[in-house]
Amino acid sequence: MTKIIGSLLALSAMPFFANAQAPKPAEPAVAAANRAVFAQLPFTDRQDFADANRGFVATTPDARNPTLYDFLKQDAPPTVNPSLWRQAQLNAINGLFKVTDGVYQVRGFSLANMTIVEGSTGIIVIDTLSTAGAAREALSLYAAQRGRKPVKAIIYSHSHSDHYGGAKGVATDEDVASGATKVFAPAGFMDAIVSESVTGGNAMGRRAQFQFGSPLPRGDRGNVDAGLGKMDSRSSLGAPGGGGGVIAPTDSIEKPIETHTIDGVTIVFQLAPKSEAPSEMQIYLPQSHVLDMAENATHNLHNLLPLRGTEVRDANGWSHYISEALERFGPDAQVLIAQHHWPVWDNARVVKRLQVQRDLYKYVHDQTVRLMNQGYGPADIAEALTMPPGLENEWSARGYYGTLSHDAKAVYQKYLGWYDGNPANLNPLPPAEDARKYVEYMGGASAVIARAREDFKAGNYRWVAQVMDQVVFADPANKEARALAADAFEQLGYVTESATWRNAYLLGAQELRAATPSQTRPAPGVGADMLHAMPLNLVFDYLATRVNGPRAGTSHIVMNWKFTDSRESIASNLEHGALTAVLNKTDPAATATVTTTRPVFEAIILGQRPLAESLRNNAVSVTGDAAQLTTLMALLDSFEAGFPIIEPR
CA gap 285, 269 in Å, rounded = 9
Q: Percentage of residues in the chain with pLDDT exceeding 90? A: 88
**Residue by residue, what is the 3-state secondary structure of 24-65?**
CCCCHHHHHHHHHHHHHCCCCCCHHHHHHHCCEEECCCCCCC
Residue 271: per-residue pLDDT: 98
Q: What is the mean pLDDT of residues 399-408?
A: 97
β-bridge pairing 578-583 and 568-575: antiparallel
Please name which of 413, 161, 421 lies closest in space to residue 304, comparing C-alpha atoms.
413
**Residue 168 pLDDT greater than 90, yes or no:** yes
Tens of pLDDT along 448-459? 999 999 999 999
pLDDT at 197: 84
**What angle, 0 to 180 degrees and rounded to 10, lies between the N-to-C axes of helices 28-40 and 479-495?**
20
| Total-model pTM | 0.93
User: What are the percentages of helix, strand and coil residues in the chain, rounded to 5?
Assistant: 40, 15, 40
Neighbours of 11 (CB within 10 A): 19
Q: Summarize the confidence of residues 429-448 as an average pLDDT.
A: 97
Kindly report, residue by residue over 459-489, the tens digit of the pLDDT: 999 999 999 999 999 999 999 999 999 999 9
Q: Residue 9: its pLDDT value, please?
A: 44
What band does 245 get if pLDDT is binned at 50, 70 and 90? confident
- For residue 529, pLDDT over 80 is answered with yes
**In which band, very low, low, confident or very high, does the pLDDT at 410 lie, cut at 50, 70 and 90?**
very high
- What is the mean pLDDT of the segment spanning 555-582? 97
pLDDT in tens, 573-631: 999 999 999 999 999 999 999 999 999 999 999 999 999 999 999 999 999 999 999 99
Tens digit of each residue's pLDDT (9 = 90 or more) over 96-150: 999 999 999 999 999 999 999 999 999 999 999 999 999 999 999 999 999 999 9
Q: Reduced to 3 states, what is the DSSP secondary structure of residue 97? A: strand
| Residue 21 binned pLDDT confidence (cut-offs 50, 70, 90) | confident
pLDDT at 25: 98
Residue 548 has pLDDT above 70, yes or no: yes
Whether the pLDDT of residue 398 is over 80: the answer is yes
Position 19 scores a pLDDT of 58
The rounded distance, in Å, linking the Cα atoms of 63 and 235 is 10
Residue type, 234: R
- Cα separation of 301 and 406, whole Å? 11
- Of the candidates 464, 457, 453, 468, the one whose C-alpha atom is nearest the C-alpha of residue 492 is 464
pLDDT beyond 80 at 371: yes
Instruction: Give the pLDDT band of residue 12 (cuts 50, 70, 90).
Output: very low
C-alpha–C-alpha distance, residues 130 and 233, integer Å:
7
Question: Among the listed ranges 127-136, 207-216, 516-525, which one has the minimum average pLDDT value?
Answer: 516-525
Predicted pLDDT of residue 239: 38
For residue 551, pLDDT beyond 50: yes
pLDDT at 18: 52
* 264-273 mean pLDDT: 98
Mean pLDDT, the chain, rounded, equals 93
**Amino acid (one-letter) located at 529:** D
Q: Would you state the pLDDT for residue 432?
A: 96
Per-residue pLDDT at 272: 98
